[in-house]
Amino acid sequence: MSPMLVVGVLTLIAVLVVGVLVLVVGSNDAGDIDGGAAEASPTVATEPPVVTEAPEVTAPTTAPPSEPVAEGPTVDELASAVVQIQLLRNGTAVCTGSGTIVEPDGTILTNSHVISPAPPCEYDRIGVATIDIPELPPQLLFEADVLVDDPVLDLAVVRIVRRLNGGDVVSNFPTVEIGDSDDLGLGDNLRVIGFPGVGGETVTFTQGTISGFVAQPGIGERSWLKTDTVISGGNSGGLAADDTGRLVGIPTIVGTGEGRFADCRFVEDTNGDGRLDSDDGCVPVGGFINGIRPVNVALALIDDARGATPITPGTPSVPTTTPNDTPTTPATGVIAANPRFSLQTADGFPDPEVFAVPDGSAQVCLTWDYRGFAPGGAFEIQWKIDGVVDVSSITSGTNQGAVDGAFFGCIANPDGLAAGLYEATWLVDGELVFAHGIFVGGSRSVHAIGLQNNTAADICAVQWSPLGASTGGLPRNVTPVRPGESFSIQLAGGVYATRVIDCDGNVIFDERSGTEFSGDLTLTLPV
């Protein structure tokens, strides 16, 4: 099973991953950060549903979902534009998610992770199932191509291109009007429609309110809508609508923000394996806050899709490059420092920081600070394992916001990461900024490694990189260590190269052959 990558952009007070993300197992929703989804079975094909005009409403109503909503379409009409995306392998659905038709030609907005081919969701075709009658399961009628895929935003655009039986596609699909997510305020109502695994085989409606907003550098001040609306595995990529029935968000993650759900119960065998366990979709119980991508974040992607040609599933829409294996001058004006590894992220920050990755861990993340990354600049993140780039980990994007802030990237494998030296690599505008490594596996103990400054200069940064890494790694900034003073940090057992930098940016100690750290140790710099 190939590892998967989650990547995000953060501020010092911001969020997530979703990076983010963060990655969790499930349906796709098995790359899904929100849990598992039901394995779908194809049904007899019928013609796609046609939207009818909503009946005139003469007074406000709090009627059930199937009745009209004031000044907008009925929930049934909204549901007719929500599809189930089925990743098909040899004609069988291996993972599912949701999507919303936003143009009559069958253009569908969904999540990147919904159409990701990461294990166990490797597929050969993307099936699209539509609904005619809400009480009945969706009918698998169509096949779609990927037009735009942005793993950083966790958004993608696909388009229905053919019938599964080979017939022609008529461009008269029901659509949902796109709203303005910037108009949303605290307490505003949200309605979510999709195909969660815990909802059985039919379309599912839930509703709640806007609980807050979360900023994310590179994306914007409203990078996430926090909501108490129930979102479960399979809802990803579906519809979040306002009171007027306009699309204002894309359900993406479960348990984002400061208030995660208090409990999550596995009550149905959503993956059809005959067992109730953590591989199934769960129902949040008690307090929970879920995350929805605002639709305004997706507008540029929808526009890009209008003239796009299909791409290979899982390929980022921004071209990728391969870094050199030797250190290079960082991209002009971009500075990165202060690496923090973690096994997961909490609102995008390391939680907690780790110095070695234990055997059997399913994920490792690196967070780092950066300065001088110009808005619009292109970036790429990829991971190396023992010096070899893991192709499935490559992701790209552009900086749409902050000049200064923090990034994080994660590599994950639900079956456990293979032991080895892992390096997260960051390129900006095609230039290598850094590659920074950590040992995974091997049951390494952690030691206190000190440094005694017997030089005549103040020390402001130190680089300790595992021997065999492709570069010296990221510097860790320290409070200026005056001559005669010392400091220490924690490092996992292993052999490391050491580089010490003074407060003017000069390298005053550079030991490349490596020092073995097998216990607590203090290095004394020569006078």
Q: Is the pLDDT of residue 467 over 50?
A: yes
Show the tokens assigned to 135: 């009480």
The pLDDT value given to residue 165: 85
The pLDDT value given to residue 239: 93
243, 347, 443, 486, 519 from 114: Cα distances, Å: 26, 21, 34, 50, 45
Q: Identify whether the C-beta of residue 448 lies closer than 8 Å to the C-beta of residue 482.
A: no
Phi (first) and psi of residue 76, to 5 degrees: -60, -40
Average pLDDT over residues 213-232: 76
Distance CA 415, CA 519 (A): 31
More confident residue, 177 or 289: 177
The pLDDT value given to residue 268: 55
The pLDDT value given to residue 22: 31
Q: pLDDT for 378-415, tens place per residue?
A: 888 888 888 777 877 787 788 766 788 878 888 988 88
Give percent of the chain above pLDDT 90.
Answer: 20
Q: Is the pLDDT of residue 28 over 70?
A: no
The pLDDT value given to residue 218: 57
The pLDDT value given to residue 294: 93
Secondary structure element (H or E) that encloses residue 301, with its range:
helix 299-305
User: Please, what sign has the CA dihedral across residues 485, 490, 495, 500?
Assistant: negative
Average pLDDT over residues 78-99: 92
pTM of the model: 0.50
Q: Is the pLDDT of residue 23 over 90?
A: no
Q: pLDDT for 248-303, tens place per residue?
A: 999 986 543 333 333 344 445 556 666 655 555 554 444 456 778 999 999 999 99
The pLDDT value given to residue 261: 34
Distance CA 35, CA 268 (A): 13
Distance CA 194, CA 238 (A): 5
Distance, first Cα to last Cα, the chain? 51
More confident residue, 221 or 2: 221
Lowest mean pLDDT among 201-205, 210-214, 218-222, 250-254: 218-222
Q: Identify whether the C-beta of residue 40 lies closer than 8 Å to the C-beta of residue 287.
A: no
The pLDDT value given to residue 286: 41
Q: pLDDT for 144-159, tens place per residue?
A: 999 998 876 788 999 9
Residue 157: which residues within 8 A CB-CB, separation 6 or more? Answer: 107, 108, 109, 110, 146, 147, 148, 298, 301, 302, 304, 305, 308
More confident residue, 62 or 412: 412
Q: pLDDT for 291-335, tens place per residue?
A: 789 999 999 999 989 888 888 765 555 433 333 233 334 445 788
**Cα 133–134–135 angle (5° rounding)?**
90
More confident residue, 368 or 267: 368
Residue 242: which residues within 8 A CB-CB, separation 6 or more? Answer: 179, 183, 184, 188, 189, 190, 191, 248
DSSP 391: G
Q: pLDDT for 408-453, tens place per residue?
A: 888 988 888 988 889 888 888 877 888 888 888 877 788 888 888 8
Average of per-residue pLDDT values in the chain: 75
CB atoms within 10 A of CB 186: 10
Strands ordered across the beta sheet of 446-452:
486-492, 446-452, 521-524
Average pLDDT over residues 94-111: 94
Q: Is the peptide bond before 352 cis (omega within 30 degrees of 0)?
A: yes
The pLDDT value given to residue 46: 40
Distance CA 170, CA 175 (A): 14
Distance CA 514, CA 399 (A): 36
Exposure on the CB side of residue 270, measured as CA atoms within 13 A: 33
The alpha carbons of the chain give a radius of gyration, in whole angstroms, of 24
Show the tokens assigned to 423: 């390096």
